[in-house]
A and B are shown apart, each in its own frame.
Chain A
Amino acid sequence: MDDFIAARSQMALSLGFHIIYSCIGMVMPVFMAISHYKWIKTKDPVYKNITIAWSKGVAIFFATGAVSGTMLSFELGLLWPGFMKHAGPIFGMPFSLEGVAFFIEAIALGFFLYGWNRLNTWFHWVTGIVVGISGIASGILVVSANSWMNSPSGFDFVNGKYLNIDPLKAMFNEAWFSEALHMTIAAFSATGFAVAGIHALMIYRKRNVHFHSKAFKIAIIFGAAAAILQPLSGDISAKGAAKRQPAKLAAMEAYFHTQEYAPLVIGGIPDTAAKKVNYGIEIPGLLSFLVHDNFKQQVNGLDKIPVKNQPPIAVTHYAFQIMVGFGMLMMLIGVLYFIALWKKKSWFDKGWFLKMFIWTTPAGFIALEAGWTVTEVGRQPWIIQGVMRTSEAVTPMPGIQYSFYLFTFIYFTLSVFVIFLLKRQIQMVPELYDR
């Protein structure tokens, strides 16, 4: 395997796993705090049990997320020293603040997990909230660093030199808001659907139904609301990409030829040699409308971008289709949930209704991974959009493939363990949490 490909694969793999751990680690504390609040207010012990059961999950994911995050902070340098040498001082601000937020999260988690019966009830509750807030803040800050790579700002690039560095301007780059919004909502919908799906399965199997129903409700309300809101933030993101990264947008849509009344292509197999999409469904004018708010205005296609500056088209296009597809599915299910909640209570006892949530347990995370693929692959061949190529950043050390194999092994082992531990947690619900 080529060293450059190995380095990219290792980075993709590490981020791909870290995203799952950290999204769960940042959203679960919010669920936990809601259920904790309900326990304090209603004194219904089932809420306390749910809080404790969830906090075990949070601890497992936090530990895994913390170590995989530590690995990433080193991998940036181990794999991309050429990038970090220049980018470190520019986009380091969000990382420094993320370090602070993460530290506070670790402290608050220590209080929360070990604070039962030791701390004042409300102080204890607040420590849980702090875990959630600092987790979300960490997520937003890291995404802001990524958005800088997509829309670099806060420096002048003159003759290969990075001058007049302004870290704050780099942090609040043009893309940070749309990316942070899209990612945070995605974290809530993915985690909400995943957690709800697991509890739905337990309800379906008639195990501890009262316990699992309450847990299901907290998770799915967040998941469904986030899924319904997500297309709006997606629209902001797509418009931003059209403006700042036309190559990425064109690759997402597999849109080869610049034209007026630009069509939106749904599905299909891009043929890069023939510059067309086979078997796709074309809706004329819709892409123009989505990008410019009118059906006529011209949208720039891949033909305006030199081939050496184009991202891999097929991967970006497929990933984008997968993300949108699963996103739409979740939005639909979210709407059905709210209909059931307000109008059709009887659905909650129906097998098909529960099955719908069981089947969509992984949907949010599939969409999330696909979305990251769009962002990262769609930015190629650049590591800093328009400034530095990924190939210029890679480490000179040969043999990266072995490191990649090692990381693959580690991440798969870790995931197997996390799943094993979660299964045991769920298996022990009747004995430990819902006696």
Chain B
Amino acid sequence: MLYVVILFLFAAITLYFLLGGADFGAGIIELFTSNDNKHRTRKTSYQAIGPIWEANHMWLIITVVILFVGFPTIYSEMCVYLHIPLLIMLLGITARGTAFAFRNYDAIKDEKTQGFYNHIFVYSSFVTPMFLGIIAGSALSGQIDPSAKTFAGAYIFSWLNWFSVSVGLFTVALCGFLAAIYLIGECTEVYDIKRFIKKAKAMNIAAVVLGALVFLASHFEHVHLADWIFGNLLSLAAVIAATLSLVLLWFIISDKKNKQWIRVLAAFQVSMILISVGHTRFPRFVIFKDGSSMSLLTDHATGKSIDDLGIGLLVGSLFILPALGYLYYSFKKKGNEAIEEH
């Protein structure tokens, strides 16, 4: 049952990245859109995420619950040493979620308040995935130091280092990339399609550059990322698959018939990156400065809690997955007609 729980944990993280991450990306794209086109981008992204955005963010809740029920020591150690980035991420989630809802449900759509919501929305869309990336980077960076004597040593440098920050920026670029790719399929006008293809390419280049930065930073911070990934068959294969899918993506991106395929390829590419990184250190989940680590295979809750959690997740997914599938089907495939709300 432990493996079922671990599988759900990784699945929830991946789905959060692919779906929630793309939601963040929609805000990132909006941030990097010229003022003339902002309105068009906003409309397209609303079409895309309006009905499903609440559901996309539930994967984070599932992730947290799995962590604190199944792996309570890992959860509480992360909460102690990564308190500050977690707090900033939470502020981002709050600001973004409410700004998105408020701008749609404000009964009076005057420019001043709408402009205010938009501002909050785009900046928090940038900050939140950045800090999610920082948290993930910090768990692997080996900078968390439970024996630190100073406040900064224990609670600041655990996450404020070149490696974590570059992982944060890389995450932002990936989210933007995913969103741009997803949005291409939502557009009806050629003008917008061209715009989002351009954005997708720009975000992709940014992701590659920032990915290189992650490797560079890992070198300076003595994180042996290159050894981890290239010295491990599955991780290496995943990275190669990601690269190949990217090449293919660039070839077919302008072809209108391949709307669904480019989405699948982009999602595949990002999942491969996650699998590669996740697998290289598995079962280690958090690595400390002294080289010790917390492992998913040893630092888990005892027998019955894990079993019940596994059963709960399996039964829960019987309800969630079909409903979620039908939600996507109803609003994605079925209707290219505009989503009208009353």
**Residues of A participating in the B interface, judged by any CB pair closer than 8 Å:** 52, 56, 59-60, 62-64, 66-71, 73-74, 76-78, 81-82, 84-90, 92-93, 95-100, 102-104, 106-111, 113-119, 165-168, 395-399, 403, 406, 410, 414, 417, 421, 424-425, 427-428, 432
Contacts and interface: CB of A to CB of B under 8 A. Distances in A.
B61 A113 contact: no
A96 B316 contact: yes
B178 to A, nearest CB: 20
Interface stretch (B192-200, B281-289, B317-325): B317-325
Nearest to A61: B101
B308 interface: yes
B94 A425 contact: no
B90 interface: yes
Contacts of B316: 96-97, 99-100, 103
B102 A165 contact: no
B323 A107 contact: yes
B94 A95 contact: no
B309 interface: yes
Contact of B61 (A68, A84, A102, A428): A102
A397 B54 contact: no
Contacts of A97: 312, 316
Contact of B79 (A60, A67, A110, A395): A395
B304 A166 contact: yes
A106 B50 contact: no
Contacts of A56: 105, 107
Contact of B50 (A93, A114, A414): A114
Contacts of B330: 111, 115, 118-119
A424 B58 CA distance: 29
Interface stretch (B62-70, B230-238, B270-278): B62-70
Contacts of A95: 65, 68-69
Given A92-B309, A117-B340, A395-B80, A73 B70 contact: no
A93 B341 CA distance: 37
A115 B335 CA distance: 11
A167 B308 CA distance: 7
Nearest to A62: B54
A397 B335 contact: no
B223 interface: no
Interface in B57-84: 57-58, 60-62, 64-66, 68-70, 72-73, 75-80, 83
B101 to A, nearest CB: 3
Residue among A59, A87, A114, A115 with most chain B CB within 10 A: A114
Residue among B76, B97, B104 with most chain A CB within 10 A: B76
A59 B100 CA distance: 11
A93 B307 CA distance: 11
Interface of B: 50-52, 54-55, 57-58, 60-62, 64-66, 68-70, 72-73, 75-80, 83, 86-87, 90-91, 93-94, 97-98, 100-102, 104-108, 151, 154-155, 301-306, 308-309, 312-313, 315-316, 319-320, 323-324, 327, 330-331, 335, 339-342
A88 B78 CA distance: 14
A414 B301 CA distance: 36
Contacts of A406: 87, 91
B64 A74 contact: yes
Contact of A84 (B58, B66, B79): B79
Contacts, number: 213
Contacts of A77: 68, 75-76, 78-79
Contacts of B106: 421, 424
Nearest to B65: A99
A81 B323 contact: no
B275 to A, nearest CB: 24
Question: Interface of chain B, helix or strand or loop or mixed?
Answer: helix
A99 B76 contact: no
Nearest to A119: B330
A78 B312 contact: no
Given A56-B107, A73-B64, A81-B76, A93 B86 contact: no
Contact of B54 (A66, A76, A89, A166): A66
A174 B51 CA distance: 40
Given A60-B101, A100-B312, A410-B91, A107 B327 contact: yes
Nearest to B108: A424
8 contacts: A62-B54, A63-B100, A70-B61, A77-B75, A81-B79, A85-B72, A89-B305, A107-B327
Contacts of A421: 102, 105-107
B12 to A, nearest CB: 10
A78 B83 contact: yes
Contacts of B55: 103, 106-107, 110
Contacts of B315: 100
A40 B88 CA distance: 46
Contact of A397 (B62, B83, B302, B327): B83
Q: Considering the complex of A and B, which 4 residue pairs feature the smallest CB-CB distances, nearest first?
A: A92-B69, A63-B101, A89-B301, A77-B79
B305 A165 contact: yes
Contacts of B51: 110-111, 113-114
A58 to B, nearest CB: 10
Contacts of B305: 89-90, 92, 165, 167
Contacts of A66: 54, 57, 97
Nearest to A57: B105
Contact of A114 (B105, B303, B324, B339): B339
Contacts of A399: 151
A428 B54 CA distance: 26
B334 to A, nearest CB: 8
Nearest to B322: A107
A414 B61 CA distance: 21
B36 to A, nearest CB: 28
A94 to B, nearest CB: 10
A5 B131 CA distance: 28
A147 to B, nearest CB: 17
A185 to B, nearest CB: 26
